[in-house]
Amino acid sequence: MIKIKNSEEIEIMRESALVVSRTLGILAKEVKPGVTTLFLDKIAEEYIRSQDAIPGFLGLYDFPNTLCMSPNAQVVHGIPNDKPLQEGDIISIDCGALKNGFYGDHAYTFAVGEIEEETRKLLEVTKQSLYEGIRQLKVGNRVGDVGYAIQKYCEDRGYGVVRELVGHGLGRKMHEDPEMPNYGKRGRGKKLMNGMVVAIEPMINLGTHRINHLSDGWTILTKDGKPSAHFEHDIAIVNGKPELLSTFKYIYDALGIVSDEELEFNSTTL
Ligand code: MG
Ligand code: MG
């Protein structure tokens, strides 16, 4: 059942999302060659707790850490470890926080130092596909319109769209209805309504869309060993249109990136 949020709940959820946004901004300064994902995990946990929030993933379905850290060919759900990041790696960081009874959940794939051009393009296309999907989150559309937009954008450019893992409704639970696949058919699926809050999260592979499961029971990786990227935002449908609750601006501030990509999805009511 889809749980519709009222405007007060949406404002509470904006704060939960922003706890995650700020956490990712802090991590952005720390992602560099030689740093371990376990070190980054500790930084994130400390910051989230300092914000009167608790890590959203820690203990969820028995996940052992605060962050899902998925380098290179890992798609999602990688477990932090003591292996240092290396120049040329990419690292997908997915972070959740629970505050005032509501979850925030968003993700960014970072470059570690200089990365190959084809990998840089993968990151760019994956992030752009996220916005292609978000643009479809409007009343009058259906879930399939969002997935279609993401899939078409990525497949037209030759990338693989992971099928087994999907976006989702977000609220008092980390994973609520409806599922928001990154593939689909136009005009199909559940109707989008005002007050829906969802996490859209394309997981896009440089090569095949097919995946393998690592024996740790968590990590998902690409079948062909090529890199995979993951970007995720939290969005509410307000006045018939998508409104971003999360933001990459803290990441961009940390990295000195100037971007107006979120402008069209910013709140007009604040
Ligand atoms: Mg996530
Ligand atoms: Mg999610």
Q: Which ligand is nearest to the CA of 198?
A: 2
| DSSP state letter for 141 | B
Distance CA 119, CA 198 (A): 27
248: Cβ–Cβ under 8 A, 6 or more apart, which residues? 21, 24, 108, 259, 261, 262
Distance CA 259, CA 161 (A): 25
Instruction: Kindly state the tokens that stand for 104.
Output: 């925030």
Query: How much is the pLDDT for 270?
Result: 52
Query: How much is the pLDDT for 248?
Result: 98
Q: Ligand 1 centroid to 222 CA: how many Å?
A: 18
Are the C-beta atoms of residues 232 and 201 closer than 8 Å to each other? yes
Instruction: Kindly state the tokens that stand for 137.
Output: 């989150």
Q: Ligand 2 centroid to 168 CA: how many Å?
A: 6
The dihedral through the CA atoms of 248, 250, 255, 261 has a sign that is positive
Q: Ligand 2 centroid to 94 CA: how many Å?
A: 8
Query: How much is the pLDDT for 75?
Result: 97
3-state secondary structure of 256: coil
Q: Which ligand is nearest to the CA of 230?
A: 1
Q: Ligand 1 centroid to 220 CA: how many Å?
A: 14
Query: How much is the pLDDT for 266?
Result: 92
* Spans of the chain, pLDDT less than 70: 268-270
Report the topology of domain 7-265: Creatine Amidinohydrolase (3.90.230)
Q: Ligand 1 centroid to 258 CA: how many Å?
A: 24
Q: Ligand 2 centroid to 106 CA: how many Å?
A: 6
Q: Which of 93, 126, 131 is nearest to 206 (CA)?
A: 126
Query: How much is the pLDDT for 21?
Result: 98
Q: Ligand 1 centroid to 58 CA: how many Å?
A: 12
Q: Ligand 2 centroid to 167 CA: how many Å?
A: 6
The dihedral through the CA atoms of 174, 131, 266, 145 has a sign that is negative
Are the C-beta atoms of residues 165 and 179 closer than 8 Å to each other? no
Q: Ligand 2 centroid to 121 CA: how many Å?
A: 23
3-state secondary structure of 130: helix
Query: How much is the pLDDT for 29?
Result: 98
Query: How much is the pLDDT for 30?
Result: 98
* Sheet architecture: strand order including 203-205: 160-161, 203-205, 228-230
Query: How much is the pLDDT for 27?
Result: 98
